[in-house]
Amino acid sequence: MKKQLSRIFTVTLISAIAWSCNQSDPAPEGTYVQGVFVINEGNFSQNNGNISFLTREKNIADSDIFSIVNGSTLKGGMQGYAVAGDHGIILVDNSNPGSDKVEIVDANKFTTTGSIGAPDIENPREVVAIGSTKAYVTNWGTLNSNSTYPAGYIAVVDLATKKVVKKITTDKGPENMVLHNNKLFVGNYDYSEGKNLTVINTTSDEVTNAIPFTDEPNPIGVDANGKLWVQAGLDLIRVNPDTYEKEATIKISADMSKSAMNFAMSPDLRTIYFVLGDFTRGETYKFQITDTAVNLATPFAKRMFSGLAVDPRQGLIYAGVTPSYTQSGYALRYRSDGTLVDSVKVGIAPTGFYFR
Amino acid sequence: MYTFQVFDRQNLRCLFLATLSFLALNQHAAAQKDSISLSPMTVYGFAPEKFMSGLKIQKIDSVTLEQFRFRNIADLLSLNTPVIFKNYGPGQLSTVAFRGTSPNHTAVLWNGLNINLPTLGQTDFSTIPVAGFDQLSVQYGASASVVGTDAVGGSILLGSLKPQAGLQVMVGRQQESFRNSQTQATIKYGTRLDNNWNFSGKTAAYDGSMNNDYRHPERNGEAISPATTFQKGLVQDLFFTKNEHEVSAHIWVTDNKLTTNPENLAGRQMTRIKSYRSMLRYQFEGWTVRTSWIRDIIDYAVGDYSKLDHAVTDRYGVHAERTFNWKIGKSGSSIQMQTGGEFTHYKTQVENYERPVITENRGDVFVLTRWQATPQFLISANLRQAFVTGYNPPFTPSLGAEYRLIQNRPYTIKLRGSLGRSYRVPTLNERYWKDLGNPDIKPENGFNKELGAESVYAFNTNHTFSANLSVYHNRIDNWAYWNPTNNFRVENLQLVIARGIEAQFGWKGNWEYWKFGSTVNYALTNTSQEKIYDAYASDIIGKQLPHIPLHSGNANAFMQYKNLRLTNQLQIISKRFTTADHSQSTPAYLLENFILETNFDRPHFGASFQARINNIYNTFYQTINGNPMPGRNFAVSLLLSAKTTR
């Protein structure tokens, strides 16, 4: 036994030395320096969401890396993950009210360094990081007793001190965010009745504008021409991010029974991928920013996904599949021409991806 | 009360015609053979067990019922049967898995009436305290031909018992850790009214509060989900008997209010289930006629409770059956036959249903037979056909047999076997929930096969041993599934096969002052989904269903000296998977409880005292991940009784 141990130790040591010799730069160390993080929402009532990790060249993911590293689970549904500097920030939504939190980890090793819970964090939805110590987290707050949405807020998190330094009130049901030129565009959840796109100055962390839409706006990204794309209902709207003028509106579909969701922009900022479906069936489409209509005749993929994202490094499209909430989901990888590369088993209900 | 607002006349007529023709047919058949001598006999009460030959029935003895008098039925069943529960915490939702099936597959009957909530098609066992009934039998495996819908995995039979003459008053209270308590009061009375009529009755009330005030609200770093439960109930049984006539009225009102996260005023959730159950029964010679009304109210609210989600379901029922008894010649062979019908009108008002008020009619006709062919050989053949508005439940036959291989010796061996079809009428939620419900959903269709052997061995005057062994195979097709890939619409996607072995061993030792006894239960339950319904089903197929342990068991042992009794209870549950693809699980656990009891009895006065330590090893366990159960805890109870002597 001892012999074996020392042999293992020697081999490990040699390989470690060999590996470290390979490194030319003093790059950050840790298992999670580079790769794809899959946000598995989990089954809400079971509080069993987690984060899977895979390196780009592999088609096997490590499931629940947080518990592998820290020995305990995150105890909630996963809503988002982002990295600022060496800090990772995980949004955890527990089915028990008052038990939601953001967990802060070492971004490279995934060891926990702290967490922030109620009352600062309640129903966290999405996170974006700015700089090396700052993150914005959209929160719905506690829903009204008739399930309607109160005005939500953004928790401004200082990752160095692990504190919420400011709460910025937004419209109802704040959800997705897009950062652009010291501005944060904050959209709202589909059924929240929050119909203003909130604009926040990231220097002062004050709301500067509220841009009204006919449906709940969802900011997608800023394209190669510097234009902000917003989805509201079945409309795709091109917005000037400086003047807030709506320059063009493209009808995605006239079929009111369908919803458009899971928008993702390609790394060259010229293509938008999204899912259009009636909840039971749907397809995934792609749209060029120069198109005047969505080509519904030729879907990108003849199926719908629970999450979509494009890897800025390789340009592969990552698509989440949720067969049920009681079994593992899959991340499908597609090339931009729509051909399938492979399928990777991940956690329950993959809805988001973070690329490093 | 018994006004039928909307009668489905077509259905009703068809039902009664069918019943009548069954009756006529039977009479006719009986009249044709002159070797059959007709000698009707009266069977009082709802005795479905009589026609369940070949099936395993476990009658819970009165000592055990007494021991669990202040607890709920889930505690009793998990420590005395292989029935598995999934529980969110003390006083919180507790759902059953009987022989590897879902909570929808256990019929819960109160005096013969199915009391599962019709919207959910199941019972929250945390809302059924042992104080609510007098008799409890557990029937294993499908018995839909006798019991009707939901009896796929098994049935829980609760019953009222006719009190004896005289007056008896009982008052008791249990005080538990975490500021939990239950108080109950019972009055039983019986008297002769005149030369012909006897009257007896029972009035009982219980009031429980579970504050779940944990001193350490965390276990192993996991928060115990805070919840309070307040439970009240009233039981009223009245019996009027005269020779072969018996009229009885039964009422059971329950009110169970569960609040999760009570401290969080914005996020707390309140679930209140109120059930009004009533029944009027008349038995005369071979006839039993019963009318019933059940109202179930489920209120659910969040935060300031300003918006109440209010759901009301009424069930008005009539039931009539006739029992015949024939002795065949002089061989000692006899046939007993029960034939009858049942009609129930449903009216439900649930906010999220496709219409504000939904009504439907359900009916059943059945013929149950029991043929004692020889003193050793007993055969049961049962037929049932259910009718539901706009719906077609399958014809449900069953066949069972029992053979006494060895009897009239110090030891007996009985062999039994049964084949039976079962069905489950979909729940009202499954059919009528706005957008997600599926009015075209098919009834689930099961086929249960089982074999068993029972043996009792009276070794000498001191020692008695017993053993009970069962193997079963239960195939359930068209298992309903809220399909997430179809926006949680209900579909008949799954085919589940549950198979297993159950073994039970008992020993009793009796001496002048000393008594000893022990019961051991073991169940091997292998239950899995077998049908491919989408590309990703291969990750699930053949794997044990979530939350059902492969191995489970319990052991009870007691020693008693005069009036002092010490009981040790043990429960072992193997690892349970919490997801269908086995990617997540909750570990195995062992629980042990100690109970010390003593009582003294005087002619007019009695008292019994119980002290209990639950989870003596302070085991960390959970039946649902993220919901740790409490550690070591204590309870004491005292029951005082006074009675008249005759």
pLDDT in tens, A128-141: 999 999 999 999 99
**A216-256 confidence digits (pLDDT tens):** 999 999 999 999 999 999 999 999 999 999 999 999 999 99
Kindly state the DSSP code that residue B484 receives in the 8-state scheme.
G
Q: B8-186+193-212+228-243+252-265+277-304+311-644, what's its fold? A: Maltoporin; Chain A (2.40.170)
CA distance A213 to chain B (A): 28
- Whose tokens are 């030395």? That residue is A17
Measured between CB atoms, which of A47, A145, A326 is closest to B303?
A145
Question: B476: which strand partners?
Answer: B446, B496
Residue A14, pLDDT score: 52
Nearest CA in chain A to B266: A142
Within 10 angstroms of residue A25's Cβ, the number of other Cβ atoms is: 5
Instruction: Compare A11 and B580 and report the one with higher pLDDT.
Output: B580
**Cβ <8 Å between A46 and B307:** no
Nearest CA in chain B to A42: B579
Joined together, the tokens standing for residue A312 give: 């800025």
For chain B, the domains span 8-186+193-212+228-243+252-265+277-304+311-644
> Which H, E and C letters describe A303-320, residue by residue?
CCCCEEEECCCCCCEEEE
The stretches in chain B having pLDDT less than 70 are: 1-47, 646
Residue B135, pLDDT score: 95
CA distance B485 to chain A (A): 6
Quote the mean pLDDT of chain A. Answer: 92
**Cβ <8 Å between B579 and A48:** yes
Measured between CB atoms, which of B301, B304, B580 is closest to A324?
B580
Q: Is residue A204 scored above 60 in pLDDT?
A: yes
Nearest Cα to B524, choosing from B446, B469, B585, B449?
B469
CA distance A208 to chain B (A): 30
Look at residue B555 and give its three-state secondary structure.
strand
Residue B15, pLDDT score: 32
- Please say whether the dihedral angle defined by the alpha carbons of residues A238, A244, A246 and A247, taken in this order, is positive or negative: negative
**Dihedral angle, C-alpha A164, A169, A172, A174, nearest 10 °:** -40
**Type and span of the H or E element at A233:** none
CA distance A319 to chain B (A): 15
What spatial distance separates the first Cα and last Cα of chain B, rounded to whole Å? 38
Q: Report d(CA B128, CA B311) in Å as an integer.
A: 20
Instruction: Compare B142 and A24 and report the one with higher pLDDT.
Output: B142
Structure ipTM: 0.84
Joined together, the tokens standing for residue B484 give: 């997430």
Cβ-based interface (< 8 Å): residues of A facing B: 43, 46-48, 63, 72, 75, 96-99, 142-147, 279-280, 321-328, 330, 347-348
Residue B40, pLDDT score: 35
Tally A–B CB contacts below 8 A.
86
**B432-485 confidence digits (pLDDT tens):** 998 888 888 888 999 999 999 999 999 999 999 999 999 999 999 999 888 877
**Cβ <8 Å between A143 and B626:** no
Residue A96, pLDDT score: 85
Strands B333-350 and A282-288: unpaired
Residue pair B193/B165 in contact by the 8 Å Cβ criterion: no
Residue B315, pLDDT score: 97
Residue A25, pLDDT score: 57
- How would you class B356 by CB atoms within 10 Å of its CB: exposed for 0-12, middle for 13-18, buried for 19 or more? exposed
Task: Please state, in angstroms and as integers, the Cα–Cα distance from residue A292 to each residue in A79, A336, A338, B506, following that order.
Answer: 33, 20, 21, 80
Residue pair A151/A171 in contact by the 8 Å Cβ criterion: yes
